Structure 1
């Protein structure tokens, strides 16, 4: 009947794991959930606030052997561009926060972690618990759908053709060891008044197989024509 399910939630317990690990009584569960949301939003806002405007990053494409200057300027709707996911592990007296990030140059600066811990401590308002923040760099950034969606967003904001941006994003996945990728973009493409959806697929993508490890993201892109939606599926491997 056309009903869809999130590929990540569909595979929880098999090939996907939870991003939050803690236990709470039913009456305190909502407080813990809101605390997790505050922590994640605080980290994303910190990266957005401290990123230098106009800083550039180079992304190399093996297929065309060209270097693309990647503008890191962020807007209010793209605060989590380089973060793939954030893991939160809560103990009795400690909250462990592991930030998985593709390009951790900003957080590697001197004093960045200490400043982020202070911001989180103010946001959480936890006196009896201390924060422990760890940065983990993603080994294969072009294997992460969030980073590919960010690349597409940058290209579209610079008036690159959406088809060309989608094809280049798929070419970047040649660096990673994957078995299939699918990119779908919907909205007022190329400024047309009638919204439509375009899709490009390469390789296999067994969405109905639970043992297939599939990474997925849904990423909004704010353009002068309105909001475009990008969805990316990546078939990593099969257990």
Structure 2
């Protein structure tokens, strides 16, 4: 089962938490769900070059708090904060309440599955050989401290007439182990020959505590350690 299911969905409530954090009843639930989908699609399209990893949406009373996890916060903020303010106004027009925008910097984009998948997809769109793109990303991810990585590309690889799937992996990826901290990402490359799907699994170690927020706390601690070591080196 672990080989087939989305690794993040399998671990929600164990060492992962939801990306939409709110509660609603009846018809309001459906409205807010579609609103969340529209917000995510809008931000993904608008911030295509900002290396957005994930978007967390929280809804306190009649408010909407959107947290964007990005490897390039400067691109989102813009000159003197002009871009982020424009973005906030556009989100206000899409929702029914007040909108708050937060940015969280992804300190290690090389070990973020979504960003690795998007990077490979962008390389494929620039006509980089798919094997070279996959192997280079795999080596970079392992060099940055991942315990295991698997990359899979599916479609008309290399312009072939018949679609096929190719994958490379290194290290261990224990998909059945629920305490394993496995990140999963997916992206699509729009090439002249058709769409090529890219899937990435990254194993970062084990989380022994039974806490849905454990994975996020671990990322935050890693970022703080890197910031401290950077200040010490300076």
1:28 and 1:101 mapped to 2: Cα distance?
30
Greater share of residues in helix: 2
> In the superposition, relative to structure 1, how do residues 132 and 232 fare at CA in structure 2: closer, same or farther (>3 Å)?
same
Match of 1:118 in 2: 89
User: What SS does the aligned partner of 1:229 have?
Assistant: strand
Query: Counterparts of 1:123-142 in structure 2 under 5 Å?
Result: 123-124=94-95, 126=96, 129-142=97-110
Q: Which of 180, 192, 200 is equivalent to 1:212? A: 180
Q: Which of 190, 193, 199 is equivalent to 1:225? A: 193
- Matching of residue 21 in structure 1 with residue 18 in structure 2: no
**Deviations for 1:142-163, whole angstroms, at most 9, x for unmatched residues?**
1111211122122222222211
Query: Counterparts of 1:87-166 in structure 2 under 5 Å?
Result: 87-109=56-78, 110=80, 111-124=82-95, 126=96, 129-166=97-134
**Deviations for 1:65-121, whole angstroms, at most 9, x for unmatched residues?**
xxxxxxx5xxxxxxxx71110011101132111000112221121211210111001
Report the alpha carbon displacement of residue 3 of structure 1 after superposing the two structures with TM. 7.9
Unaligned residue ranges in structure 2 (runs of 5+): 208-234
1:113 and 1:134 mapped to 2: Cα distance?
10
CA RMSD of aligned residues (A): 1.8
**Whose RCO is larger (CA < 8 A, sep 6+)?**
2
- Matching of residue 180 in structure 1 with residue 148 in structure 2: yes
1:20 and 1:209 mapped to 2: Cα distance?
25
TM, length-normalised to structure 1: 0.80
Greater share of residues in strand: 1
1:138 and 1:185 mapped to 2: Cα distance?
24
* Aligned 8 A contact 1:145 1:233 in 2: yes
TM, length-normalised to structure 2: 0.82
